[in-house]
A = this chain, B = another copy of it.
Amino acid sequence: MDKVQTSIRTANTPAVLVDLDIARRNIERFQAYAETHGLKVRPHIKTHKLPAIAEMQLRAGAIGITCQKVSEAQAMVDGSPEIRDVLITYNILGTEKLDHLAALARKVTLSVVADNETVIDGLSEKFASEPAPLTVLVECNTGADRCGVPTPEAAAALAQRIANAPGLKFGGLMTYPPAGGAGAVEAFMTRAKALIEASGIAVPVITSGGTPSMMDAAEAPVTTEYRPGTYVYNDRSLVSRGVCGWDDCALTVLATVVSVPSANRAIIDAGSKTQTSDLLGLTGYGHVLGRDDIAIDQLSEEHGRLVSQGPIDLKVGDKLRIVPNHACVVTNMVDAVHIVENGAISAVWPVTARGRIV
């Protein structure tokens, strides 16, 4: 982590800036909400991919972290001795991944999820000969229609299979619900929990997630744990949903105007290689801070096109800060982020778990 002290005005662009003061405030805000409602917090690190920010989350009261891929978990655990409890919310398959998973399970408290028998059987085969059983939660589909068993009955059947499988321990239920899905989570999980407990198996954890609905997490009181990700940085998608304001956005893209080819068009040096093409249902690609009149209507890889109804009033060399549509995917584009404290760049942090896709 190079220590630097650079004015944002003189930084080489494009650059991804992370304001630690804002991130800390975001972390504390949700932690306070969760504690009020008796919920444990297990942040998803996909948003920052940084051991140092995971440490901020743990010190604020999080019980552990969530990762999506085994290689991501490895990078985070190797990056911080404070990360001792990891949930990987993914169906894990294949010799190479299972070997890495077993190595990780010997280092930290580890749990994973499964939504099918093939995955459970593969985990069991691997962990039957490991020193300790692996904790496996059942992933449930509560309306997002991605992974997950479709019914409480199917969840109960898989819980039974896990409980009976050599090398495994049933850990509970997991879901990634659609926005506004607290009611669906409550209904599914209450029924699944009752079915599983009726067969004599305890359900120690019921974990839900998603930043858009995090301030309604308590509306599903059956849940014991919540896994917000984007909340640490926030983004244009969350501002548009009314979840936060621009001042709560910790991650911004610093860009330079490289061309003003016409009166209402300007081009910046941050395209899809920095901002990504994620739309998340929005129109346009990011919000230029302080310039509500400008839309970013087109990205190519290294160019962002800004258009305005009236004169765009920008000149070549001007620097702009952009709140991207989706913060998590921006983090994954860059080898390093520039840390902002007290309004200046104080450090450059390599994005430890960037590009960990396996």
Contact = CB atoms under 8 A, between A and B. Distances in A.
A168 to B, nearest CB: 17
Nearest to A70: B12
Contacts of A272: 276, 278, 329
A328 interface: yes
A303 B335 CA distance: 22
Contacts of A258: 90-91, 93, 119, 147
Interface string A282-316: 00000000000000001011110100000000011
Contacts of A14: 357-358
8 contacts: A90-B269, A91-B259, A91-B316, A93-B316, A270-B357, A273-B332, A273-B355, A301-B329
Closest 9 pairs between A and B when the two form their complex, measured CB to CB? A118-B316, A91-B258, A277-B277, A147-B259, A12-B96, A68-B302, A277-B278, A335-B355, A12-B358
A149 interface: yes
A317 interface: yes
A36 interface: no
A243 interface: no
Contacts of A148: 259, 261
**A interface, how many residues as a size bin?**
35 or more
Contacts of A141: 261
A178 B260 CA distance: 19
Interface in A15-42: 15
Copies of the protein in its oligomer: 2
A126 to B, nearest CB: 14
A46 B149 CA distance: 41
Contacts of A146: 261, 267, 298, 300, 303, 305
Interface string A248-287: 0000000010111110010101101110111100000000
Given A145-B265, A277-B277, 8 more contacts: A13-B358, A15-B358, A68-B301, A90-B258, A93-B256, A93-B317, A118-B317, A145-B261
Nearest to A315: B118
A101 to B, nearest CB: 13
A115 interface: yes
**Most B CB within 10 A of own CB, among A69, A119, A261, A328:** A261
A182 B334 CA distance: 36
A270 B315 CA distance: 40
Contact of A13 (B94, B115, B118, B303): B94
